[in-house]
A and B are shown apart, each in its own frame.
Chain A
Amino acid sequence: MTPRRAPSPVDELVASREIVVACGPGGVGKTTTAAALGATAAVRSGAKVLVLTVDPARRLADALRVEGIGNTASRVPAAAFTAAGARAKGELWAAMLDTKQSWDALVRRHAPDRATADQILANPLYQNVTGRFAQSHEYIAMERLYEIHAEGEYDLVVVDTPPTRNALDFLDAPQRMAEFFASGLLRWLVAPSRSRLVSIASRPFYQIADRILGTQFLGDVAEFFLLFQSMYDGFVTRARAVSALMRDPRTTFMVVTTLEAVPALEARQFVAALGERRLHLGLLVANKVLPASFSDPDAAAVAESFESRAHEVAGVLARGEGPELADATLVAQVLQEVGRSFANFERVARREAELLASMSRSHEVTATVPHLRGDVVDLSGLLEIGRHVFGAPG
Chain B
Amino acid sequence: MLQMIPLLFIISIVSFLLMTMAPGDPTAMFQNPESVKSGKQDLTAIREKLGVDKPIYVQYEKWMKLVLQGDLGYSFQDGRPVLQKIVERIPATLILMGTAILISFLIAIPIGIYSAVRQYSPLDNTFTFLSFLGISIPSFFFGLMVMLVFSLKLGWFPVSNMTSDETNLPNSVDILYHLILPASVLAFGLVAQYARYMRSSMLEVIHQDYIRTARAKGVAEGKVIFKHAVRNAMLPIITLLGFQLPHLFGGALIIEQIFAWPGMGRLAIGSIFVRDYQVIMGVTMVTALLVVIGNLIADILYAVVDPRIQYGKT
Do A and B assemble together? no
Task: Spell out B's residues near A (CB within 8 Å).
Answer: none
Binding site for B on A (CB under 8 A): none
